[in-house]
Amino acid sequence: MKEQIAKILAEKIPSLSEAEILELIEIPPNPQMGDYAFPCFRLAKTLRKAPPMIAADLLGEIEAPDFIEEIKVAGAYLNFYVKKNVYAETLLSKVRGEQFGSSEEGKGHTICIDYSSPNVAKNFHVGHLRTTIIGNSLYKIFSKLGYHVERINHLGDWGTQFGKLIVAYKKWGSEEAVKEKGIEELMRLYVDFHKAADEDPALEDEARFWFAEMERGNEEALKIWKWFVDISLEEFKRTYRLLGLEFDHYTGESFYRDKTEAVVKRLTDANLLSESEGAKIVDLSEYDMAPCLILKNDGSSIYATRDLAAIFYRMENYHFDRCLYVTGQEQRLHFQQVFKVVELLGNEWAKEGLVHIPYGLVSLGGEKLSSRDGNVIYAEDILLEAISKIKAIIEEKNPDLENKDDVARNVGVGAVIFNDLYNQRIKDVSFRWEHLLNFDGETGPYVQYTYARCSSILRKVEDFDPNGPIDISFMTDEASLGLLKELSRFDSVVKEAAKRYEPSVVARFAVAVAQAFNHYYTVNRINVEDVNERNARVLLVDITRRILRDAMDLLGITCVEQM
C-alpha cells in the first residue's frame, strides 16, 4: 500500500523519484491522523509555496486508489486513511505465517561474533554480562536472517597478568587454598599482587619475566597457567548455563600464541614494522592514531599481536563476510589500530568486514566495577539474586504454581537480560532491583506476564484452528488494528536490529507489542459465544503470543507459560 501511494504521488511530483517519496512517507503516531502521511516540507523550495498549500494542491490532483477510504490535508501533511477491512486483511496476511520475521537474506554469508571473552583467573562479574548478553542476542538476530554465525569466546588466557599471578601464587599462595576456594583465591592473589607492587615496583619485572618464560615454553609456568585456566572455565560455564547460552569456539589468546610469529613476518615483509625503545611497532601517525605495539622490548607478544593472528586465522578457516567484536567502548582505539594494520597489509575487506561494537559501562547502584581494586560483583550472584527475588514474588502471589523453580529462573534471568538490552548498548547500564523486577513497567517481567496471559487465554479455548477462515470485520476496531500494526513491524525490526547491531530495537518492539495487546485485551472480550468473533479474537492472541516468544528468543530470553 505504501508503494502504491508513492507511485500515485510520483506522477504528480516530478522533482522527486518514487523511491525518494517512499522514503518520505510516514506512519502517523495517532490513527486519527491516518494510516500513512506524506510531508510536503521538502517541496516548498522547488515549488515556492507554503507546505500546507502544496498538500492542498496534491489533494485536488491525485485520485485515491481502491484501498484508500479518504485523503485529508492536515497542515503540511497529506494523510491517507486506508479502508479498515483492507488494512486488517493485508496486515493479517503478513503476520500469520509461522516464519514471519525470518529471512534468507544472509544465506551463503558467514558472520563471526567475538564476545563474552572474560579474563581467566578473574571472576565473571556483571561487566562481563554486557558483552555476553549483547553478543548472544546478535547471534540470534543474524541467525534469524539466515546468516551462518560462528560464536567465538576469545578468552583472555594469555598475557602479563599470568606472570603476576604466578609471582603472587609462589609468594603468598598455596595449592590447598586454590583447590578449596578456586577463582576467589586467584582474585585475592591478583589484588594482593597490585597492592604489593605499589610498594615494590620490582614485582612488575618479576611478572614480566614469568610471562616471558610462559612464551618460551617453561614447563612449570605453563602447568600453573593451565591449572588456573581450567578453574576459570569451570566457573564461566556455570554462568553460561544460567544464561542458557553456548559457544562454538573457546579459542582464547593462548590459541594464537604459535601464530604470532607469522604475523610479525607479514608485517616485516610489508616493511610496516619499526623499532621504538626496543619494542616493535606499526607507526599509525599518518592516520592520527597512536602506534600499534606488536612486540614488547623483551620480545614477547601483546594482545594486539594475538588479535591480528586471530583475524587471519578466522578469515582462513571461516571465510567470514564480517567479524564483529563486542567489547566496551574503552577499547575503541585498540580495534581501530588493529583493523588499520590489517588494511595496511593489503586486505581491503578489513574496511567493511571488521566491526567493533562498543557498549557502555555497567554499575550496581551507580558505582563502577573494577577487578584490580577487588570491588567486584559476581555475575552469577546477580542472576541468582534475581531468581530468588522472583521466586519470593511467586510464593506470595501464586504459591500453587507448577514448576516454580523453572519459572523463577526464566523470569529472573530474563529480567536481567532485558534490563541490559532495553536501552541502546552505548548507554551505561545500572542494576536497580526496583526497576529490573517490576511487572508493570517497560521490563522483562512485564513482557513475560503478557506472554503468559496469552497462553492462559489459549488454554481455555477449545476447537480453535489458527489456519481456519477468519471474518476480518472483527479485526477492524481501533485496538485490533493497533495491535496488528505493531505485530506487522517484526520483520523490519529484526532487519533494523541487525543493520544497527542494536538488540534494543527488538526489546522495545516487545514492550510495544505487549502494551498494544494489553489495550486490546482490555477493550475486547476474547472467548465469546459467537464463533466467528471468537476465532478472530483468539487468532490475534495466538499471533501475539508467537511473535512475543520469537522476539524474546532473539534477546536470549525464554518465555514462561504460567506465572
Q: Which is nearest to 501 in space by CA: 131, 116, 127? A: 131
Contact 480, 474 (CB under 8 A): yes
DSSP notation for 17-53: -HHHHHHH-B--SSGGG-SEEEE-GGGHHHHTS-HHH
Strands (E), 44-170: 68-74, 77-82, 110-114, 148-152
The secondary structure of the chain in percent helix, strand, coil, rounded to multiples of 5, reads 60, 10, 30
pLDDT greater than 50 at residue 491: yes
Contact 183, 232 (CB under 8 A): yes
CA distance readout (Å), 362 to 131, 247, 370, 376 = 11, 23, 10, 11
The per-residue pLDDT for range 204-263, each reduced to its tens digit, is 999 999 998 998 899 999 999 999 999 999 989 999 999 999 999 999 999 998 999 999
The per-residue pLDDT for range 392-440, each reduced to its tens digit, is 999 999 999 999 999 999 999 999 999 999 999 999 887 778 888 888 8
Residues 6+ positions from 268 with CB-CB distance below 8 Å: none
The per-residue pLDDT for range 278-327, each reduced to its tens digit, is 999 999 999 999 999 999 887 777 889 999 999 999 999 999 999 999 99
pLDDT of residue 121: 87
Q: What does the alpha-carbon distance between residue 476 and residue 473 come to, in Å, rounded to a whole number?
A: 6
State the pairing for strand pair 322-328/292-295: unpaired
C-alpha cell at 149: 554465525
Gap between the terminal Cα atoms of the chain: 40
pTM above 0.75, yes or no: yes
Contact 506, 497 (CB under 8 A): yes
The per-residue pLDDT for range 171-189, each reduced to its tens digit, is 999 999 999 999 889 989 9
C-alpha cell at 502: 542494536
Mean pLDDT of the chain: 93
Q: For 329-392, give the secondary structure using H, E and C.
A: HHHHHHHHHHHHHHHHCCCCCHHHHEEEEEECCEEECCEECECCCCECCEHHHHHHHHHHHHHH
How many Å is the Cα radius of gyration of the chain?
29
With bands split at pLDDT 50, 70 and 90, how would you rate the model's confidence at 367? low
pLDDT greater than 90 at residue 354: yes
The position carrying cell 558472520 is: 111
